[in-house]
Structure 1
Amino acid sequence: MLARLPRLRRRALVTATVTDAAGGSHSLGELDFLDLTRRAGLPAPTRQQVRYDPAGRRRYLDAYFAPWRVHVEIDGGQHLDPAHAWADMRRQNSLWIEGDRVLRFPAWALRARPDEVVAQLRAALRAAGWPG
């Protein structure tokens, strides 16, 4: 598709965004998170990791650092709804029971507090055995 637009402004940005979206990002917050991990020199996560909840339902986790069993969830405003928040908590508790670590960040923090997000993610990965 991009080949049809030889004079596309900001081609590199558009190409990177399309590539990231095709690679599994489902929201702008997830794209921001991926960019943040790249700039920080952190390992690349698997995006939209499929997991099954205790009832056997298919669930998707935003980012998963599989070798260290660290999950990251990027929460937009819809996660403040009580029913949505409760579903998030149940999924997080299930992952914890299975032995994984889960970090949650509001989407705004990726832009407003990127250093704090990176510091917490780096600390979690190191605590889980990442040598970086």
Structure 2
Amino acid sequence: MNERQPHRGLFRGSEAIGEEMLTWRQLSSGLYRRVLHNVYMPSCDQLDYVTKCHAAALIAPPHAVLTGRSAAAIRGLDLAVTTDPVEFVVAEADRFGPVREFRIRRTTLTAGDYEPWQGIRLATPKRLALDLLLRHTPRTQSRSRCLRTAVSDLDCALRAGLVSEDQVAATLWGRRDRGIALAREAFELRDARAESRPESEYRVILTLAGLPPEPQFVVRCPDGFEARLDLGYPEHLIAVEYDGEWHNDEDQPAKDLARRERLRALGWRVLVYRARDLRDTPDQVVADVRALMG
């Protein structure tokens, strides 16, 4: 058998058949789920993104470095969904890929960029942070969208303590990778105070428009009332808030309403956005804030 230890119920189909553990008919009977090329798991087992990364480790060459959102997932940071590709970097001259459901980028690597993991290599926190910034290019989406996504990923890594600002700055210094200019711009827009990726994205949108807000601004009143705003403009008494799905849970809508009524009684104008707003009309927040500023 392969020296790599499978994760949970993962196995290589070719090995299972070759060692007469299963027949091809059994493998394709519906009892097993194909995760990646030649990698299967019992259909009753739950497939998530971390499991998908482990599946990739069974078929990637030993020198491939799992990085970016994939390495972040292995290190406990939830930045990817199950349908996202597994991300690797390899040396410039490497011939690995293309592989379906893998995202493979060729770059300069040093021994300090990775450590052994599951028979392949896992990017160090500094390396994965670099690749979170370098994975976005304006070739397929707008520069603004690239910055929004890169900054939100980096904010999450910084807030989780996976990597420090000084480490990322040192990693960016002196590099000439494709996309390094955008990576450095994204780094300048970072803010570890952000508590969600959508909050980071709205902050970037507003900052790029010349309207930088204050993240996690706390409104305090003499009677003890406190409200922490996702994004605030205290000099204009404008609050920008993002309501994720959990804001629909149980009595949360009533709590949100009461909190915002208190803010409005204090003179604050509150703008609230949801997932569909960020997806369909992300720049509307700029027009809304400017209108309130007069």
- With structure 1 as the length reference, what TM-score do the two structures score? 0.75
Number of positions where the alignment pairs a residue of Structure 1 with one of Structure 2: 123
Aligned to 1:51: 219
- On the 8 A contact 2:207/2:213 being kept in 1, the answer is no
Task: Answer 1 or 2: higher relative contact order, Cα 8 Å, separation at least 6.
Answer: 1
Paired position in structure 2 for 1:124: 292
The question of whether the paired residues in 2 share the 8 Å contact of 1:73 and 1:102 is answered with yes
Shift of 1:28: 0.9
The structure 2 residue matched to 1:5, chosen from 127, 131, 139, is 127
Q: 2:228 matched to which residue of 1?
A: 60
Distance 1:41 1:81, change over 3 A: same
Q: Supply the AA of the counterpart residue of 2:278.
A: L
TM-score, normalising length: structure 2: 0.37
Secondary structure of 1:9's aligned partner: helix
Partner of 2:276: 108
1:63-92, Cα deviation, whole Å (9 max, x unpaired): 110110111111111112251111111111
C-alpha distance in 1 between matches for 2:248 and 2:128: 43
Task: Give the RMSD, CA atoms, in angstroms.
Answer: 2.9
- Is 1:99 aligned to 2:267, yes or no? yes
Cross-structure match for 2:196:
27
In structure 2, the CA distance between the partners of 1:11 and 1:115, relative to structure 1 (3 Å rule), is closer
Q: 1:104 to 1:7 in 2, by over 3 A?
A: closer
Task: Report the alpha carbon displacement of residue 4 of structure 1 after superposing the two structures with TM.
Answer: 4.6
Instruction: Report the Cα distance in structure 2 between the residues aligned to 1:28 and 1:10, rounded to whole angstroms.
Output: 14
Give the stretch that moved more between structures: 26-35 or 113-122: 113-122
**Partner residue, 1:36:** 205
Distance across 2 between alignment mates of 1:90 and 1:62:
17
| Unmatched tracts of structure 2, length 5 or more | 1-123, 135-149, 159-164, 166-189
Question: What are the within-5 Å matches in structure 2 for residues 79-94 of structure 1?
Answer: 79-94=247-262
Q: Unmatched 5+ residue regions in structure 1?
A: 127-132
Would the alpha carbon gap of residues 89 and 7 (structure 1) be closer, same or farther in structure 2, given more than 3 Å must change?
A: closer
- Could you tell which deviates more after superposition, 57-66 or 45-54? 45-54
Letter in 1 for 2:131: R
Q: Specify which structure has the higher proportion of helix.
A: 1
Cα shift at 1:16: 5.3
- Assess, with a 3 A threshold, how the Cα gap between structure 1 residues 26 and 4 changes in structure 2: closer, same or farther: closer
Percent pairwise identity: 31
Please identify the structure whose Cα radius of gyration is greater.
2
